Structure formats: structure tokens, C-alpha cells
Amino acid sequence: MPKQLIANRLKNAMGLHTPTVGMITISSAIDRRMRALQLDDCAQYLVNLDNDPGEMQKLIEAVIIPETWFFRDAIAYKKLLEYLRTRQSAVYKSQLRILSIPCSTGEEPYSIAMLLADNGFEVGTYRIDAVDISEKLIQKAKLGSYGKHSFRAEDLSFVDRHFTRYEDKFMLSDAVKAQVNFHHANLLDADFLPGYDIYDVIFCRNLLIYFDGPTQARVFSVLARLLKNDGILILGHAETSQRSAGLFETASNLGPYINRKASKTPAIPRASDKAGPISNKNAALADKQVPAELPESGLDSPLEKAFALANEGRVEEAIELGLACVQHDRFSSRAHYLLGLLYDISADTSKADDYLKKALYLDPNNIEALIHLSLMAEQRGDSDDSERLRNRAERVQNRNRLS
């Protein structure tokens, strides 16, 4: 019971939704904090939490999921470039402002900085701000030293251009580091980044998936305040702006997880506004969109194209390309994962199950495949299997956090 009360405190402080994140993750964070304080009574820890103003931050540090890597979901960066090029002349008139929230250990904002540097954007014509609730992650980001776990993109050609290797680490160049301003802040705080219409582009990826509907609505109202009217909001590939209470709409010419402020913006919802629960599962993929033109770019690969097609709702074409990818590289866990998603959307659950299991066989740490299999198990009413898979995903996440 005290653990549930602590989970409620965490939700109020940072938005974390227990059923989504899993009580095991929250419980093991509480256990770590109790060990650090040499407490064996959870009720006593709750008293500490309520009386020590610094303890909540320490609990937050213990519970956060910092999973990130350079050029994660390469298509998002391609879309960013596509958008910036359409307004390059405007960019040079006023400084382009980009926000990465949450930035975790910095791989996302530094990827943006490398992308701009590699594509001829002059220093001084843009400013990149990066924010995260974790002080520790922000400190790590400022150091700019990364292990191999941060390099999971298919195209790693940026490494030679921007990193120096020392021992088993890679050190980011000072030139790239200088382009990102890091801040420690909680997006749900009432005084979070005061001001209006500041940013041309906001990256807010892989945060909403941990929040329930009302908390997502709060996040969208903050982002709507900070984004310029003609700016874009880039979400993660499993996230949509459906819970934005009409503040955002999909930018159909750019792809479903790229959003713009709605043309007729309704009143910004209050934090207390109620919204029902949302299942993020496949929401972005299921959205049928007008296909976007994909420009030539170094970030292109058949698999990323297949993801892009899937995100544009072109399911059959995505399956065709995904199958070609699997034929070309039968050991690609990510390609099998994509086919699993696509067959699930096409209501072929048996094939979906096969491909997702194969994705896991090829990479037992494929968290996305684990989570999707868990959701499918939940849908067919097999809650034991669903929980087993979710716990496995959590263990992988915890291991990643420690490595």
C-alpha cells in the first residue's frame, strides 16, 4: 500500500503512469532509494519522501527510463531537414530555435546539431535547447562521452565526422557540443520555460508513452504555448497528438508523427481537464495519410523507407519493402519487428506473432518487440503472458540503464 501511495506521488511530480510503466520498475526504484537510506520500512520511506524536499528528485533519478541513441528513428531527422529546407530563407532572417524535450543523455539534440552542421547550416543561425527532468542525465549529456549503446542507428557515418575514440568510449567534438544548451527542468512544472511562441521545432519523443491521457493533454498545452504558429512538433513513432484536445493536428504532407498547431486552436486545456485513457498501440501506424515525397538523403535505407511507408499508412507497400529487407538481411531484428507491427495492423495476428517472436529470437533485448507482444497478449486476454513479457521488457530497460 505505501508503494502505491509513492507511485501516486511520482505521478503527480513527473507524470509517470504506473500501469504503463509497470509497478516493478517503480517498486525497484523505491527499493534502491530505501537501500541508499538504509530503510527497510516502506511507510518510513514515504514519511521521508514527504518531508525531505530533495528526496523526490532522487526517486525520479532512480525511476526514469533514459533509453535513447543517436539518430533514433532516422526518418524524424530526415523530416526535420525537409521542413527546414522549405523555410531556409526565413531561417536566416531570424535565428531558428529548436527544443529537444526530453533530451535524456543528449543523443537527440546532438543528432540535430550534427544534422545541421552536415547540411550547411551556419553556426549562429540556429539555437538548440535541450531539457530533461534528470540532473544526472543532463550532466552526462554535457560531458559528451558515449559508449557503444548510443550508436544503434543503421547509418553510423556521422561517427567519424564528429567523434574521437578513446578506450571504449567516443568523445563528441567541442564544435557540436557548443551548439546545444542543456537545462534541467520538469515539463509538468507550472513555471516550465515561461514564454510563448519561442520554438520553430520541438522534438518531444518517447515521453508521452509513459503518461496517461490527462497528463498527455497537459504536455500538449505546454508544447502549444512554446511552439510558433508555423512550427512543427515531432513525436515518437508510437505517439500521436490525439490527446492534444485539438491543439495539434498531423501535418499530413510531412507524416503522421509530425504535427502542427491546429489552424483553429481551441482554448488551452486546464491541467484538471479529464480525458479518457488512450492506447498508443499502432495509433501512428494506423493513421491513413497522404503520402509524403521522400527526398534523396544520406539517411535513406530500405528499412527506414519501410518504416516511413508504415507511418504514412501505406501498409501494403511497407510490407512488401519489409519482406524484401528480411530477404536481404534475415538476421535483422528491426525488420522482423516492423513486419510484426504491419501484420498486426492488417489483422493477421498469427503472422504478427511469428515475426515479433523472430525479432526477439534475433535480438532478445528488442524492447519494442517485447512491448508489442505484451500488448497483443493483453488484447487476446492472456494477462499472465502479457505481464511476463512486460516484466521482461522492464528487465531489459533496467539493464540498459545500468550499462
Ligand X SMILES: C[S@@+](CC[C@H](N)C(=O)[O-])C[C@H]1O[C@@H](n2cnc3c(N)ncnc32)[C@H](O)[C@@H]1O
Q: List interacting residues with ligand X (CB under 6 A).
A: 14-15, 64-68, 72, 102, 104, 108, 132-134, 137, 186-188, 205-207, 236
CB of residue 71 vs ligand X: minimum separation in angstroms? 10
CB of residue 132 vs ligand X: minimum separation in angstroms? 5
Nearer to ligand X, 45 or 110 (CB): 110
Q: Is the peptide bond before 194 cis (omega within 30 degrees of 0)?
A: no
Residue closest to 133 by CA, chosen among 217, 64, 76: 64
Nearer to ligand X, 211 or 355 (CB): 211
CB of residue 129 vs ligand X: minimum separation in angstroms? 13
CB of residue 125 vs ligand X: minimum separation in angstroms? 24
CB of residue 11 vs ligand X: minimum separation in angstroms? 10
- Cell numbers standing for residue 175: 564544435
Secondary structure letter of residue 209 according to DSSP: G
CB of residue 382 vs ligand X: minimum separation in angstroms? 27
Nearer to ligand X, 130 or 319 (CB): 130
∠ CA 367-283-265, nearest 5°, is 125
Q: Round to whole Å and give the CA distance between 214 and 235.
A: 17
CB of residue 118 vs ligand X: minimum separation in angstroms? 19
Nearer to ligand X, 153 or 376 (CB): 153
Q: Round to whole Å and give the CA distance between 140 and 120.
A: 28
Quick count: other Cβ atoms within 10 Å of Cβ 396? 18
Q: Three-state DSSP class for 232?
A: strand
Nearer to ligand X, 13 or 39 (CB): 13
Nearer to ligand X, 64 or 318 (CB): 64
Nearer to ligand X, 58 or 72 (CB): 72
Q: Round to whole Å and give the CA distance between 200 and 73.
A: 20
Quick count: other Cβ atoms within 10 Å of Cβ 193? 17
For residue 48, the one-letter residue type is: N
- Cell numbers standing for residue 100: 529537444
Residue closest to 204 by CA, chosen among 195, 196, 215, 194: 215
Nearer to ligand X, 177 or 358 (CB): 177
Q: Round to whole Å and give the CA distance between 68 and 49.
A: 29
Nearer to ligand X, 91 or 185 (CB): 185
Q: Three-state DSSP class for 403?
A: coil
CB of residue 342 vs ligand X: minimum separation in angstroms? 22
Q: Round to whole Å and give the CA distance between 325 and 256.
A: 23
CB of residue 219 vs ligand X: minimum separation in angstroms? 8
Q: Three-state DSSP class for 359?
A: helix
Q: Round to whole Å and give the CA distance between 379 and 331.
A: 28
